[in-house]
Structure 1
Amino acid sequence: MNRSNIQLPLQTGSLTLGFMVWVILSSLIAFIKESIALSPSQLTWVTATPVLFGSIMRVPVGYWTNRFGARKLFTLSFIVLLLPVYWLSRADSFGDLIIGGLFLGMGGAVFSVGVTSLPKYYPKSRHGFVNGIYGMGNLGTAISTFGAPVLANQIGWSKTILAYGALLIVMAVVMFLLGDREETPVRASLMDQIRGVAGNSKLWLLCLFYFLTFGSFVAFTVYLPNFLVSSFGLTKVDAGLRTAGFIALATFMRPLGGYLGDKFNPFKILMLVFVGLTAAGVLLSFAPSMLWYTISCLTIALCAGLGNGTIFKLVPMYFAKQAGIANGIISAMGGLGGFFPPLMLAFLFKLTGHYAIGFMAMSEVALACLILIVWMFFQEKLGLSARIIENAVEGIMITDTTGHIRSVNAAFTQITGYEEHEVVGKTPSILKSGIQGEDFYRELWDSLRQDGSWQGEIWNRRKGGDVYQEWLTISSVKNDAGDVMLYSGMFSDLTRKAGKIKAEPIKE
């Protein structure tokens, strides 16, 4: 059996179970609070605690996946999760719920396993779509959010939690038997990898974006069941069904976001995502009716899902060699994005009696992300242009309208022998060979001013004194108003293959 072919469905199924277990408490909180007395703040802490530990653990789990492989990490994680599942099935106090919920977070931490492991099996052109498919494991939260209340109605919340243990045992055995035993390890210390990515500003921007997109997904998954019951008077099963719809939409949008990120410019997709999140946050802040509340929540689900898929298309672009630790840090920040908002909403509700300020804050964060992604988009375009110029085999020299050199590329130095700092601020006359007279240069400039370009052969002198022949193309660079701002000269050495030419005296 070719084990590499089944890793995507196998790891996606494993993530689905991990997320099912991760949200047990938020899915059953309406039942649990009937047996265990909990204050509103305690309710928030019980549902938020698994998110906190799951977020923090994503960093080392991503690193361990690179070291030991997905097979070992998934198998061990499911065995570890048996302990909090059993503990919670016997819980009878707030303290029991916090302790069990803390270690339950391992179910969310396994997200780092697949996003680190799966790209090894596919070309870069498919990384966005593959990570999007894997991210559909988010559906596990929908399964628990809808299914757990239905089962709890029949057998009680304690036995419902215990039933998850059987699923964990089955999946641990399946992963142990079918997981890839030959996954290529990446051996580097955790701190070395962290230092390798920590100084890259792109990492922290992606962290912020995922903090918002995945954080809003997790936060609403945790927040909606209890909110819909207490604020709109829905039954627990109805609230679970509606929350499951929110989760399902966000989940199915994730592979679409990855696919669109592969096919189109991912920066533009994220611009649309943050526009949608900004608008939805503003609408929610006005405490709308059930209809508009539903529309806003579904907009958040759609945008969060698209954003989640698209962001992990960008990670391999910037961190091809440190994918494990970068994925771990970014996904950890996304998990923290699901931890803090419910706490903030509960605090603001207790302080003001409504959630408006919290939702408005979400819209402002989305607006900030929109501004930053627009900035990244134009920085990427400028960076691409700079990389093209720097890696061109032809020499390139940029001058201002007065003829003073602004910048040169590496090929310029290779051909002429002059380093950039030796020519910047000077005029191209530093290269004059003296072979062509003043009439030649006068005609060159007349053509450049009249036609906007000049092309032809010219003799220049290297730093070492050797004269060489080059083919030179000069083009004017204009702004939107049609005014010339710069001149770009691109040249290739015509004498390199013919050997050096003896330097001639410079003609005055």
Structure 2
Amino acid sequence: MSNLSQSHKILFLNTLAFTICFACWTLNGVLITFLADKGIFSFSVVEMGWLLGIPILSGSIFRLPIGILTDKYGGKIVFSALLIACSIPLFLLPFADSFWSFAVLSFFFGLVGTSFAVGIGYTSVWYPKEWQGRALGIFGMGNAGAAITTFVAPTLLNNLSANDPINGWKTLPIIYAASLVIIGILFIAFAKNKTNQGVSKSMGELLSPLKKTRVWRFGAYYFLVFGFFVAYSQWLLPNFMNVYNTTLVMGGMFATMFSLPSGVIRAFGGYLSDKFGARKVMYWVLGSSVVISFLLMFPKMEIITAGPGVMSLTNGKVTEITDNKIVVNGKTHQISNKREVETSNESAIFPVKKSWQEVVVEQNQEVKKKELLAHGITQINFSANLWVYVILVTLIGISWGIGKAAVYKHIPEYFPNEVGVVGGMVGLIGGLGGFLGPIIFGYLLNYTGLWTSSWIFICAVSVACLIWMHRTIIKAMHSKSPNFTKQIEDKQ
């Protein structure tokens, strides 16, 4: 078998394993929402946030040590052991009967999230530099595993619970656990081990890249494009159910429209990064993240404020008051009543304005010129149209999907012998976004009462990342080409 065909076989196995691992990693997003919605468990909003975040936490904090093990011992050994070990807590999940038992088992099955660090290190050793962006982008398509869970799991749960509403859900974790075991056996049978020959031997040398600010900057980008992707893969389902009153299955389909394109397009992101450069791609990704999250931060709302009133044109007595006019000294003043301006605006894309007047004078009352006859009221309704929301959410998911590949295009270039370590560290920081996201979103929802408060937070992080990247590039230009930048400034 040629080197390239062997590489492609390993890439296929890695991508398949990562897809199944990612589906398991985001299981709680559907399962916990279902259990709370059906009243099987009485989880509070904050407890739900923790249960969504705990698997993401364990799958993130252990990425660095798993990345080191992959560099040292090879991906076949680490991946197959990880797959089989993580099936055990999933087999035990049907026995969970409280928040704490769910939390502990979620922590352990969440270790499937470290599969990303394994796959990054294991894939990169099989491909030359010019193939790195595409290969890592294709591997990263395993993110689409989140779409498997949001699309398939709600229907499975409904079918499993049809005959046994209380205990039917318990079969789902067993199906997921069995999938991990099957992929683990495939790995043992068909994968070929390979280690990074240039990897540093001492732990001090191995961890030395973590002293560089560049690693932490890449981590910040990944906190946004990967962490919030994971967070929203889970947070969108309760969001749709609460804000738009969708069913579990319909909400799952809408959430899939976010997670599936975002996962699949990652390979295209790798291609764009190879062709145009990762930095240029990141400018577009961060810029679009700022714009789209800004558009998403406006909630469904109704604002009632003072509007245009009606004032008397003359001194005199009010001689007639009807639904649409007031007569003073023979002069007619037209007014609009609320019934006449009522319109349906549920499907409106833009805010809808309605204005009317309410009479504040009485029959036979003496009034002066410019005195208020009818108080003006303006009502502005914004329905946050469901389909516009879905389109914007899909677009930001696609943007983040391209960004995930662009971030990881940098790593083999700057750290060719520490891909597992640096990739693990960047993945850890990104994974922390997936862990902290649902928890932060839960607290923001409790504090503000707005489901869109999460998008305000995402917009702020997007702006911070864009500014950090731009300042770094400007600083590099000043240090590399001080004469060129001085000429530009002089001409201005």
Q: TM-score, normalised by structure 2?
A: 0.76
1:479 maps to 2:492: no
Percentage of pairs with the same residue: 30
The partner residue of 1:269 within 259, 268, 281 is 281
- 1:111 partner amino acid: F
CA–CA separation in structure 2 for the residues paired with 1:5 and 1:250:
22
1:78 and 1:172 in contact (8 A); partners too: yes
Structure 2 Cα separation of the partners of residues 103 and 42 of structure 1: 18
Q: Any gaps of 5 or more consecutive residues in structure 2? A: 161-167, 300-383
8 Å CA contact 1:4–1:180 kept in 2: the answer is no
Tell me if the contact between 1:267 and 1:377 (Cα under 8 Å) persists in the aligned partners. no
Q: CA deviation at 1:337?
A: 0.9
Give the distance between the partners of 1:97 and 1:222, measured in 2 at CA: 16
Q: How does the TM-score come out when normalised to structure 1?
A: 0.74
Q: What are the Cα deviations for residues 17-57 of structure 1, in whole angstroms up to 9, with x where unaligned?
A: 11111111112223222322211111111111101111101
Partner of 2:24: 21
1:181 match: secondary structure: coil
Q: In structure 2, the residue corresponding to 1:121 is in which secondary structure?
A: coil
Q: Please name the residue that 1:56 is paired with.
A: 61
| Counterpart in the other structure of 2:248 | 236
Partner residue, 2:268: 256
Q: After the TM superposition, which residues 284-299 of structure 1 pair with which residues of structure 2 at under 5 Å, given as runs?
A: 284-287=296-299, 288-299=384-395
Q: Which has the higher contact order (CA 8 A, sep 6+)?
A: 2
Q: How many residues align?
A: 395
Q: Structure 1 residue 379: deviation in Å? A: 4.6
Cα distance, 1:376 vs. partner?
A: 3.4
- Asked if 1:215 corresponds to 2:227, the answer is yes
**Residue aligning to 1:334:** 430
Conserved in 1, the CA contact under 8 Å of 2:297 and 2:456? yes
The Cα offsets for residues 246-304 of structure 1, whole Å up to 9 and x where unpaired, read as 11110122111111110112211111111111112212221133233223211210111
Query: Residue 431 of structure 1 corresponds to which residue in structure 2?
Result: none
> Which letter does structure 1 place at the counterpart of 2:139?
Y
* Counterpart Cα distance in 1 of 2:418 and 2:76: 20
Closer/same/farther in 2, CA of residues 295 and 37 from structure 1, 3 Å limit: same
Kept in 1: contact 2:74–2:122 (CA 8 A): yes
In the TM superposition, 1:293-442 aligns within 5 A as 293-379=389-475
Q: Is the 8 A contact 1:269 1:310 kept in 2?
A: yes
User: Once the two structures are superposed, what CA deviation does each residue of 1:440-482 show, in whole Å capped at 9, x if it has no partner?
Assistant: xxxxxxxxxxxxxxxxxxxxxxxxxxxxxxxxxxxx9982488
The match for 2:190 among 172, 178, 196 is 178
Q: In the superposition, relative to structure 1, how do residues 67 and 296 fare at CA in structure 2: closer, same or farther (>3 Å)? A: same
On the 8 A contact 1:29/1:226 being kept in 2, the answer is no
Q: Determine which of 95, 114, 125 is the counterpart of 1:109.
A: 114
Question: What is the alpha-carbon root mean square deviation over aligned residues?
Answer: 2.2
- Which residue in the other structure is 1:467 paired with? none
User: Structure 1 stretch 301-310 or stretch 360-369: which is displaced more?
Assistant: 360-369
Mapped partners of 2:53, 2:258: distance in 1 = 19
Tell me the alpha carbon deviations over residues 329-382 of structure 1, each in whole angstroms, 9 at most, x when there is no partner: 001111111111211111111112114443222112111211222233345556
Aligned to 1:432: none
Displacement, 1:98?
0.3
- Is the contact between residue 69 and residue 117 of structure 1 (CA under 8 Å) also seen in structure 2? yes
Aligned to 1:410: none
Structure with bigger gyration radius: 1
AA paired with 1:220? Answer: Y
TM-aligned CA distance change 1:481 to 1:171, over 3 Å: closer
Structure 2 equivalent of residue 192 of structure 1: 205
Structure 1 residues 209-250: Cα deviation after superposition (integer angstroms, max 9, x where no partner): 100110121111010112111221101011111111211110
1:91 aligns to 2:99 (yes or no): no
Specify the SS of the correspondent of 2:62: helix
Contact 1:56 1:332 in 2 (8 A): yes
Structure 1 spans left out of the alignment, 5+ residues: 387-397, 399-475, 484-508
Is this contact kept in 2: 1:49–1:339, CA < 8 A?
A: yes
Question: Contact 1:215–1:338 (CA<8 Å) still a contact in 2?
Answer: yes
Q: Output the CA distance in 2 between the equivalents of 1:13 and 1:116.
A: 16
One-letter identity of the residue aligned with 1:170: I
